[in-house]
Amino acid sequence: MNCTAHNTFTMQHILLPTDLSDNSKNAIRYALELFSGKSCSFYFLNVQKNSNFVSETFMSEPDVDTMVQSVTIDYKQRLKEFALPIMQEFEAESYTFKVDVEFEPLCDSINQLIITENIDLLVIGSHGTTGAKEVLFGSTTLRVIRNVACPMLVIPEGRKFKGLNSILFTAGSCRDIKNPAAKPLLDLIHLFNPHLHLLKLKARNKGPLHDCDGCVMDVLKDLDYESHTLRGIPIPLAVDAYMQLNRVDIQALFVLEESILDRFMFGSETEKIVYASPVPLLLLPKTNP
């Protein structure tokens, strides 16, 4: 495969939000193995609840500035102890690492770091469960997806990196691969030379079929890909059915815009896709081409 139409690797600054859990550690390791051989900067971010800050500070220091500094140092030390074994495991790579501790709001902290550190990709773990908690309050992962406009790689709990031989890209049109927001997807294609499954979903059962060769070849020359069109099928159902019939290592799609009313009345399609996906999910915030 010759991907000469796209030969610049752009995912060099990668944010790794962590709650210091085994699930987040697994997601971090996946990211570090995924980008093996590339020069990347990784940022460990731990966001603490304000209630933790208040309870610990009022029991210790009377001076506010001293309290803030003391508690921040303590949390940063915990984060360093969490990150150090991981950094040592990948010390042979051309990686640089930073650690940072912030306090809630979570998404505000993430968005600020995206700006200050020019973050290209956010990697976060997900738990494969659904239920009333997501409906009423929203899980951490879904909260980040809905409030952070940054390319995001969501790693299912326990998923290990075992190579990248095939990618499923679900889109409304093959033209979506030419959207500037698809650049992280093109990076992975250029890096791993995978087989691309292009799944086009149409809301209507009628309409002309579009030849994808022109759109795909404009972006990636000699790409090994196949294209399929499904009509009138909900996105989660179509993706699940396709993945049962085809081996896929990563799936990619643009972030679905959903109103609060839609989520209340019909359930969240984003939730269904994120929690049902057995493979890592690359979410792309769509922009106007």
Which CATH number goes with the domain that contains 224?
3.40.50.620
Q: Which residues partner with 122 through β-bridges?
A: 15, 152
Are residues 120 and 190 part of one domain?
Answer: no
Are residues 197 and 92 part of one domain?
Answer: no
pLDDT attached to residue 132: 40
pLDDT attached to residue 219: 64
* Domain-located, residue 161: no
pLDDT attached to residue 30: 98
Neighbours of 113 (CB within 10 A): 22
Are residues 138 and 21 part of one domain?
Answer: yes
- Please name the amino acid found at residue 49: K
* pLDDT beneath 50: ranges in the chain: 1-6, 57, 129-138, 259-266
Q: Which of 96, 122, 156 is the last residue of a domain?
A: 156
Are residues 212 and 189 part of one domain?
Answer: yes
As a whole number of angstroms, the distance between CA 17 and CA 28 comes to 9
DSSP helix/strand/coil, 104: coil
Q: Which residues partner with 284 through β-bridges?
A: 254
As a whole number of angstroms, the distance between CA 182 and CA 200 comes to 15
* Domain-located, residue 280: yes
- Please name the amino acid found at residue 60: S
Q: For residue 237, what are the domain limits?
A: 166-284
240-273 burial code (b ≥16 CB/10 A, e <16):
eebbeeeebbbbbbbbbeeeeeebeeeebbbbbb
Are residues 139 and 77 part of one domain?
Answer: yes
* Domain-located, residue 7: no
